[in-house]
Chains A and B, each alone.
Chain A
């Protein structure tokens, strides 16, 4: 049973390159189309890469974001840049393009002020989810090693518990950060079209505020075809689900 599970994992890992080859073809074609300023074709190829080949990478989302930006579709551009950034948070190109695209987005003063105070968001975005996972795993493995070393060294049990417990606290902190990053990434959305946020999930409901294309939102609830989103300054309202792209 144990060997069976191990074999399954190895199979899953080795199967990756098969999908990747197909994805690389799409990617190369999309870059060629982009260079010819055929952004629509480039978008289609990148979307096929994501759906048909079923693979992803920061570069794919980055290039897709560029295509949308060139078409003037700021919302989708920012959405893809954010996706790229979630996989490669420290990539300078992604940062630059995202910052440039954000400059182009119209926004209200209150919304902008709220954005500047997002320390936790910046903290969680310093590493990708994948990196967080590895970091957490490494921390727990180190905790286990510390435990073994202290046991074999014949330390008194109190000291063993103290050392292992300290390492476990650090590991737990990293794990919490991982969960935080996961939650942060999972609840993010970008308005891909300009729309209006309402007090209720209905076209007849009172409009609360205007949502500009490219506005970054936090998803609070899903209901039928509506999303309850929160603006950077804390104001929340309902928008049609098709008007936003969720990360």
Chain B
């Protein structure tokens, strides 16, 4: 009777240890961080275990422990835990340190902060006292050989009580076919906690996340085991033989500290349950390994592969609905496609609708609980009867070993005209994609011209070239004029005789104009003296007669040679004679006579200027 009772209590203890690891368990999925030390009084020469635990997630790689006053900290290793509290599943990750006291005294382990998903979590400070060895009370953290240690160190004994199996639903599969994987951990009469999820090196396959582990009891060859079952889906990614495993689970074995009792037998109060209740166990890491399995993977047949193959491998069902089937033009119709079944839904590419008669919005795709849904809004643009064409879904049926195409539809939509004034309020009408059609243009000649433009006389050469000739003639004249000016100016510079001749007449006219006031003043002597001077100067420059050689006889000869009329020469001689008398014989000359003489002089100079070249 006592034996049965003890066994029951042991099983209950296992469950309690596994499910309720600490009294500070957190609410499932709430994140919190805490530090726990296994004792608040440490004896010099012994050690204490400091555990930094992050509850609610395992998304933390490392915690850096700050330098601790009075202790040397040694990192022992991390551990993960899975807990079910009142039916709620949660996880935690711990970082374990061994604290070795350096000197006696009272120390504070400060608050430690960690960053998780951008948020900071902080633990509370702890106070630990280090006491001398003599002051240590019995049953605290002082190391002591556990009576249970000897038998528990026996590998064979542990192997009998802790076992793990790995099983695949099938030994052969197709590439990308999901194969269920079951890993079972069998534990009997052993206190184990902090077990991790199974670890498998995924070479040649993809392993899904493990679902929530199941826990139950199972009779194996007449012995009752506590079983923790892990389930996942394995998807091979290459053909050929692939090795699945070995699978590894790690945990901590609880070993009794201070009493040398056999953990596998004894009285009710000698059991681990009560020992654990009084916190007299220490943890020993344990690794459980299962042998690898082999899976034969076949490739998908290349023959008869549909062009619209979705990539789905397994066994699927396909359903399509369209609603409403009676709308106004511009109103949306929702097309809903659902693919469900066994197989990797992530790899399934959902069918797409393409039809120019509809405005088609981008689809929304969701994958939940073994089914993948696609919702797409399509908008019929023109009134009448519109037909959403049949939609096909092709996948590889692993049971039949061939490709299968499921077709749904077509769906006939009755499209009513839009209400008056609502034409431009149709949903998404403004965003309607521009459909570019290839335009074909007509070809013909350009129409006749209405105005003849500038009509030119085609027969007349002058008519066609007149303007050009006119411009050219004018241009040539102007050009010639300027060129002449250039030549004249050049000769003035290079030919002094020409320069004198050119300047003679203008100089004479200028000096003549200065004589006019003398006529009015009545100064006959001065008038005639200057008149003769002007005349001599002109003749010298114009006919190139040397100064002093202007006697009347010689002058007459020269002028006659230059074809100056004889009467003009005679007139000139008269002027010279009159001038001589006025200057040297003081003959009185009236003003009218002087005026006549002046005009005669001008006339003679003009005549000579014209005739003498």
Q: Do A and B come from one complex?
A: yes
Interface residues of chain A, those whose CB is within 8 Å of chain B, are 5-6, 8-10, 12-13, 15-16, 19-20, 23-24, 27, 31, 34, 50, 53-60, 62-63, 66-67, 69-70, 93, 96-97, 100-101, 130, 133-134, 137, 141, 144-145, 148, 151-152
Q: Would B473 and A6 count as touching, CB distance under 8 A?
A: yes
Cα A69 to Cα B470 in complex, Å, equals 39
Q: Which residue of chain B has its CB nearest to the CB of A92?
A: B446
22 contacts between A and B (CB under 8 A): A6-B470, A9-B470, A10-B470, A12-B463, A19-B457, A20-B455, A27-B451, A27-B455, A31-B448, A55-B455, A55-B457, A57-B454, A62-B448, A66-B448, A67-B448, A93-B449, A96-B445, A97-B446, A100-B443, A101-B445, A137-B471, A144-B475
Q: In the complex, are the beta carbons of A5 and B444 less than 8 A apart? A: no
Complex-state Cα separation, A16 to B453, whole angstroms? 13
Would you call A93 and B446 a contact (CB within 8 A)?
Answer: yes
When distances are taken between beta carbons in the complex, the residues of chain A under 8 Å from B479 are 144-145, 148
Tell me the residues in window 478-495 of chain B with beta carbons closer than 8 Å to chain A beta carbons: 479, 482-483, 486
Contact check, A58 vs B444: say whether CB atoms are below 8 A apart. no
Distance to closest chain B CB from A133 (angstroms)? 6
B560 is an interface residue with CB less than 8 A from chain A:
no
Kindly identify, within residues 437 to 481 of chain B, every residue whose CB is under 8 Å from any CB belonging to chain A: 443-460, 462-473, 475, 479
B466 pairs with A12, CB closer than 8 A: yes
Q: Are A15 and B482 in contact (CB under 8 A)?
A: no
A91 → chain B closest CB, angstroms: 9
Given A130-B464, A134-B468; A55-B456 close (CB under 8 Å): yes
Q: In the complex, which residue of chain A has the Cβ closest to the Cβ of B454?
A: A57
Contact between A100 and B444, CB atoms less than 8 A apart: yes
Q: Is the interface of A mostly helix, strand, loop or mixed?
A: helix
**A133 contact from B443, B451, B457, B468, Cβ within 8 A:** B468
Residues B327-386 near A (CB distance < 8 A): none
CB neighbours of B446 from chain A (8 A):
66, 93, 96-97
What's the nearest-Cβ distance from chain B to residue A50, in Å?
Answer: 7
Do the beta carbons of A16 and B445 come within 8 Å of each other? Answer: no
Do A58 and B460 touch across chains, with their CB atoms under 8 A apart?
no
Give Cα A55–Cα B443 distance, bound, in whole angstroms: 32
Q: A23-B452, A57-B456, A101-B445 are in contact. Are A148 and B473 (CB under 8 A)?
A: no
A39 to B472: give the CA distance in the assembly, Å. 43
Chain B's nearest CB lies how many Å from the CB of A63? Answer: 4
Partner of B463, one of A13, A57, A133, A148: A13
State whether B455 touches A23 (Cβ < 8 A): yes
Contact check, B483 vs A27: say whether CB atoms are below 8 A apart: no
- Closest residue of chain B to A98 (Cβ to Cβ) is B445
Min CB–CB distance A157 → chain B (angstroms): 11
- The interface residues of chain B lying within 8 Å CB-to-CB of A58 are 453
Question: What residues on B are CB-neighbors of A12 within 8 Å?
Answer: 460, 462-463, 466
Q: Is the CB of B462 within 8 A of A60?
A: no
A172 to chain B, nearest CB (A): 17
CA distance in complex: A20, B463 (Å): 11
- Bound together, the chains give a CA A134 to CA B463 distance in angstroms of 15
Q: Which residues of B contact A56 (CB under 8 A)?
A: 455-456, 458
Chain A nearest Cβ from B567, distance in angstroms: 35
Given contacts A13-B466, A13-B467, contact A19 B448 (CB under 8 A): no
Most buried by A among B450, B455, B457, B486: B455
Chain B positions 256-301 with a Cβ under 8 Å from a chain A Cβ: none
B residues within 8 A CB of A16? 455-457, 463, 466
Complex Cα gap A16–B452 (Å)? 14
Contacts known (A13-B466, A13-B470, A66-B445); A59 close to B457, Cβ less than 8 A? no
B535 to chain A, nearest CB (A): 37
Task: Give Cα A58–Cα B452 distance, bound, in whole angstroms.
Answer: 8
A93 to B447, CA, bound (A): 8
Whether the pair B455, A97 counts as a contact (CB closer than 8 A) is: no
Partner of A148, one of B444, B470, B482: B482
**Whole-angstrom distance between the Cβ of B472 and the nearest chain A Cβ:** 6
Asked whether A24 and B455 contact (CB < 8 A) given A97-B445, A100-B444, A133-B465, the answer is yes
**CA A219 to CA B471, docked complex, whole Å:** 34
Q: How far is the CA of A23 from the CA of B457 in the complex (A)?
A: 10
- Decide: A54 and B457 in contact? CB cutoff 8 A: yes
Write out the residue numbers on chain B whose beta carbons fall within 8 Å of the beta carbon of A62. 448-449
Which of A54, A63, A133, A137 is B458 in contact with, Cβ under 8 Å? Answer: A54
Nearest first, the 3 closest Cβ-Cβ pairs linking A and B are A12-B462, A13-B466, A55-B455
Contact (Cβ within 8 A) A151 B486: yes
Bound CA–CA A16/B448 (angstroms): 24
CB-CB nearest in chain A for B490: A151
CB distance from B400 to the nearest CB of A (A): 61
Q: Which of B445, B463, B470, B472 has the most CB of A within 10 A?
A: B445
The closest CB in chain B to the CB of A42 belongs to B448
Chain B nearest CB, measured from A159 CB (Å) = 15
Which B residues touch A59, using CB under 8 A?
449, 451-453
Complex Cα distance A60/B460, Å?
Answer: 18
A57 touches B444 (CB 8 A): no
| B473 nearest in chain A by CB position | A6
CB distance from A71 to the nearest CB of B (A): 12
Our pick among A23, A34, A50 for the contact of B448 (Cβ within 8 Å) is A34
Q: Write the nearest CB–CB distance from A175 to chain B, whole angstroms.
A: 13
Residues of A close to B456: CB separation below 8 A: 16, 55-57
In the complex the two chains form, what is the Cα distance from A6 to B452 in whole Å? Answer: 29
Say yes or no: A63 contacts B455, CB within 8 Å: no
- A164 → B minimal CB distance (Å): 12
Q: How far is the CA of A96 from the CA of B386 in the complex (A)?
A: 44
Query: Chain A: which residue is nearest B460 at the CB level?
Result: A12
Contact yes or no, A19 B475, CB < 8 A: no
What residues of chain B lie closer than 8 Å to A9, measured between beta carbons?
462, 466, 469-470, 473
How many angstroms from the CA of A148 to the CA of B457 in the assembled complex? Answer: 36
The answer to whether B486 touches A15 (Cβ under 8 A) is no
Residues on the A chain within 8 Å of B464, using CB: 130
